[in-house]
A and B are shown apart, each in its own frame.
Chain A
Amino acid sequence: MIRAHGLPLAAILAGAAALMVFGLGSGSYWTIVALNLAMWIALTQSWSLFSGMTGYISLGHVVAYGIGAYVVAFSFKIVPLWLSIPLAGVAAGLFALMVALPVLRVRGPYFVILTFGLAELVKYILLNVETGLGKSSRLLFGAPKPDTLLWIMVGLAAAATVALYAVHRSRFGRGLDAIREDETAAETIGIPVVRLKVLAYAASAVIPGMVGGVMALRSTYFEVLQVFNPTISFTIVTIAIIGGAGDARGPILGALFLVGLSEVLQNASPQIYLILLGLCLIGCVLFLPTGLVGLLHRKGGAR
């Protein structure tokens, strides 16, 4: 599909980037919108790297986000941000690496439920830890301004996009494609399926970890229940379904759509927003299984 680009990735990237740069120069409202857009792009591209490629649908990606946020909040004013944000990514990646083997033993709906449950489990463990430390919440005084955070987030969105694009074209990506199509056939033609799945799962957690760290700074406030919000996991999957997870353009289109819809409707009428979002989701599942990005393909050829 990479070869059959109807609308080049570059054009979509440029559009999203223009919006974000616009956000930088035009006061706080657009800065926040652009930050949200970049955040969802970064999260969904990362999710796609694992779930889009392998077909194992993770409904618990917020766990990486939450761990990253915790690392940054916990080390705030102890470790400098240029170090703590990457560390947030490393911590999320290492956590994913640790749990990958048991988690990836199950497939299909069981995997979906397990990832969801795992994120909840980590949430309540950290909640207990924080209560034990006597910290029901942490205030992050002196966090960088939204403008600065927007730059970091745009960088993360770009990195996640490039990573997904590169994986799609690589030998690694070919292996993940085969795993999604038929795991037994994949291992029979020499693909080390377990190793590839574990690597993809861990890789897909790194950038969300850093995103979580940045978002903790953005709200200047950390509370376990707020960052481990399952809605974040659901929204990632929603964006991937609406935009399409077939290539790196889908999550960008999906994020543009969702952030746009939310800006137009959420404040005016949250109910209508949710109803419309639900309808779009159902519509995509039923009539547009490859998402918005599927509309860009000239014809539905094979990859």
Chain B
Amino acid sequence: MTLLAINALCKNFGGLKALSDVSFAVERGSIHGLMGANGAGKTTLFSIIAGNTKPTSGRVFFDGDPIQGRRPDTICRLGIARTFQIVRPFPGLSVRRNVETAILYGRQEHVGTADAEREADRILAEIGLADAADKPASTLTLSGRKRLEVARALGTGPKLLMLDEVMAGLTPTEVTEMMQTIRRVKEANDLTVLIIEHVVSALSDLSDRITVLHHGVKIAEGTAREIAENKDVQSAYFGEDDDAGSDDDV
């Protein structure tokens, strides 16, 4: 069954076509990978789904309902959570308070402040940040901040968790840990995951299905094996400079 459906989505920034007529569906309970070189439009797609950016045209269905163009806080409470590729913690608040705030506001049901604190500690333990709970978020390492992004997204009690390059910049050991964390958290919370990752091996390993974007156009979709053998993907990915384009966020 489909949880998220992207339908003919277009996004222009001035003359730049960041997304052109992109359509695909994410199955409930799956891990769906999103692949593509820098500037392919992956983060823009996340921003549109989460309501941070308005699409130029096209539609997004969540649980069968159109959600494109709605406010981000509304979309969050419907059950969609995203992380930011360029992390955006609340730097002056403690790590626990970061997650608590997400619990207090991100869920459909009302949670009291005392319950929120307990729940935050549970999530921090699950993500491996329990030791840092009382520290200001600004003191975390990059790996810690990426984890906090995930913890805060989980705090909102999502059905769909969208992870934007949460392994970028991590050491190989940290990447392995993060992959385990993602799998564990997905099973424990009965989630559907849409994940952007530059580390192709990690993405292939995690994903049930992968969609590939190139310059805003969907060029392939399939299992990791199908993607690896796809000629268009090979020429797009390995035929040109992988680092073209900028890394703008939000």
Stretch from B8-16, B98-106, B121-129, B173-181 contacting the other chain: B98-106
Query: Would A302 and B94 count as touching, CB distance under 8 A?
Result: yes
Interfacial chain A residues near B93, Cβ < 8 Å: 177-178, 181, 302-303
Query: Would B250 and A184 count as touching, CB distance under 8 A?
Result: yes
B249 to chain A, nearest CB (A): 10
Query: Would B104 and A302 count as touching, CB distance under 8 A?
Result: no
Query: Would A175 and B104 count as touching, CB distance under 8 A?
Result: yes
Name the residue of chain B whose CB is nearest to the CB of A174.
B101
Query: Would B136 and A185 count as touching, CB distance under 8 A?
Result: no
Query: Would B82 and A181 count as touching, CB distance under 8 A?
Result: no
Query: Would B92 and A302 count as touching, CB distance under 8 A?
Result: yes
Is B207 an interface position by the 8 A CB rule? no
Expressed in whole angstroms, the Cα–Cα distance for A190 and B94 within the complex equals: 19
B24-39 CB contacts (< 8 Å) to partner A: none
A269 to chain B, nearest CB (A): 39
Q: Given A181-B90, A189-B105: A174 and B76 within 8 A (CB)? A: no
Expressed in whole angstroms, the Cα–Cα distance for A189 and B72 within the complex equals: 8
Name the residue of chain A whose CB is nearest to the CB of B92.
A181
Instruction: Please report whether the interface of chain A is mostly helix, strand, loop or mixed according to DSSP.
Output: helix
Is B42 an interface position by the 8 A CB rule? no
Is B150 an interface position by the 8 A CB rule? no
Is A118 an interface position by the 8 A CB rule? no
Query: Would B76 and A178 count as touching, CB distance under 8 A?
Result: no
Name the residue of chain A whose CB is nearest to the CB of B152.
A189
Q: Given A178-B93, A182-B90, A302-B93: A189 and B101 within 8 A (CB)? A: yes
Q: A186-210, CB under 8 A of B: which get 1 and which 0?
A: 1111111100000000000000000
Interfacial chain B residues near A187, Cβ < 8 Å: 52, 71-73, 76
Is B5 an interface position by the 8 A CB rule? no
B240 to chain A, nearest CB (A): 32
Is A145 an interface position by the 8 A CB rule? no
Query: Would B107 and A190 count as touching, CB distance under 8 A?
Result: yes
Query: Would A192 and B73 count as touching, CB distance under 8 A?
Result: yes
Query: Would B94 and A303 count as touching, CB distance under 8 A?
Result: yes
Query: Would A174 and B104 count as touching, CB distance under 8 A?
Result: yes
Interfacial chain B residues near A191, Cβ < 8 Å: 73, 101, 105
8 smallest CB-CB distances across A and B, nearest first, come from A302-B136, A181-B90, A190-B106, A190-B76, A302-B94, A190-B105, A185-B88, A189-B102
- Which residues of B line the A interface, CB within 8 A? 50, 52, 71-73, 76-77, 81-82, 84, 88-94, 97, 100-102, 104-107, 113, 134-137, 152-153, 155-156, 250
* Pairs across A and B, CB under 8 Å, 22 listed: A171-B105, A174-B104, A177-B101, A178-B101, A178-B105, A181-B92, A182-B91, A185-B152, A186-B90, A187-B72, A187-B73, A187-B76, A189-B73, A189-B81, A190-B76, A190-B105, A191-B73, A301-B94, A302-B93, A302-B97, A302-B137, A303-B93
